[in-house]
Amino acid sequence: MREIVLHEVGLRDGLQIERAVVPTDVKARWARRLAESGVDMIQLGSFVHQEKVPQMADTDELFGLFLNEKGLERGLACGVRYFCLGISASETHSRKNTGMSIAEAQDRIVKTALAARAAGAAVQVSVQSAFGCSYEGEVPEEQVLDIVSRYLDAGLTMISLADTVGHATPDRVTRLFSRVLQLDAQVECACHFHDTYGLGLVNCYAALEAGVTYFESAFAGLGGCPFTAVTGGNVCTEDLLHLWHRMGKRTDVSLDPIVDVSRDAAAYFSRELPGKIYKTGPIPPVRPALG
């Protein structure tokens, strides 16, 4: 198993907050270029309510990921075989995001996840706002672990912790992921950090040190949850990959196609986006001295 699995979420989490709807053909062009980089996974969209998140209205064409039972039907019909489902550890965020309490949302998510597995699909389940909430402030770790434990009781062992509003710090990242990994020997962990307060990359490094395998990020640092009080973009894919390259990790994945997409996105939205490497270029690799 690879130490690092790269999961690109820009076409879903990255675009969901943008007011200017990106045409399907542009999304498809970006998706093809991202695939050329060699990243392991690409989120193409989400089967959510089209009026609430109009950016996702074309997900049936692009395939995608879902939040509810109807989304499962649409996803399976499109041939989707890997689904990401999640609930919030914040009661306020849960109600704003889904219109349900944490308990109600988890009942629904577990039911949907098991149905997806029964249909032959792989499933990742997440805990959103796992490190804090812009409405409620600190989210107790025990509350997060209770949600994770219920997932595990249902046999769902691919677990993602999402820092939806960017409140995580490296010490808490290390501690919480370590506790999750101790709950079950079968657990695999994914992390999803937002860079709202500039801590995204250091939190990714802390997660790696804690034993996290899957890393979710968005090209150009796009993103932000539309149902939080303070929004900030995702960890930037090319910035994260540049870090891994500097550490000698995942050098099989190419930066250039991702940088191309980020530059294209900046031109499309007519503004500077949060990512760094698409603007500065990468630090050149050290060349061995000639003998």
Catalytic residues: 225
Long-range pairs of 203-206 with CB within 8 A, sequence gap ≥ 24: 203/163, 203/168, 203/169, 203/170, 203/173, 203/235, 204/235, 204/240, 204/243, 205/170, 205/243, 206/170, 206/171, 206/173, 206/174
- Bridge partners, residue 133, by sequence: 137
What's the rounded Cα separation, in Å, for the pair 85 and 159?
Answer: 10
Edge-first strand listing for the sheet containing 122-128 = 41-42, 5-8, 214-217, 188-193, 158-163, 122-128, 82-88
Structure tokens given for 263:
């530059």
**Cα 272 vs. chain centroid, distance in angstroms?**
22
What's the rounded Cα separation, in Å, for the pair 133 and 139?
Answer: 7
What's the rounded Cα separation, in Å, for the pair 5 and 3?
Answer: 7
